[in-house]
Amino acid sequence: MSQPELNQGLSDIEAKLQDVISLCERLRLENASLQDQQNSLIEERARLIEKNEQARSKVEQMIMRLKSLEASQ
């Protein structure tokens, strides 16, 4: 293999390696963004579950009050 061919081969490898490095960095940033999004969704889900439980409790309390009013009449 001649020196120019060797240099071209090394340049090709270097370019491919740079592409891989760029891809890894892009994937790292995308992964961090997705993890942040997942954490936000987990927090939102927890808040919605809590609100749902509060609403369920209030409805159950109203039903109990209505039953006690009905029973007292």
pLDDT digits (tens, 9 = 90+) for 7-36: 899 999 999 999 999 999 999 999 999 999
Q: What would the DSSP string read from start to end of 13-66? A: HHHHHHHHHHHHHHHHHHHHHHHHHHHHHHHHHHHHHHHHHHHHHHHHHHHHHH
Q: How many domains in the chain? A: 1
**How many angstroms separate the CA atoms of 60 and 66, rounded?**
10
pLDDT value of position 4: 87
What is the span of the domain harbouring residue 42? 1-73
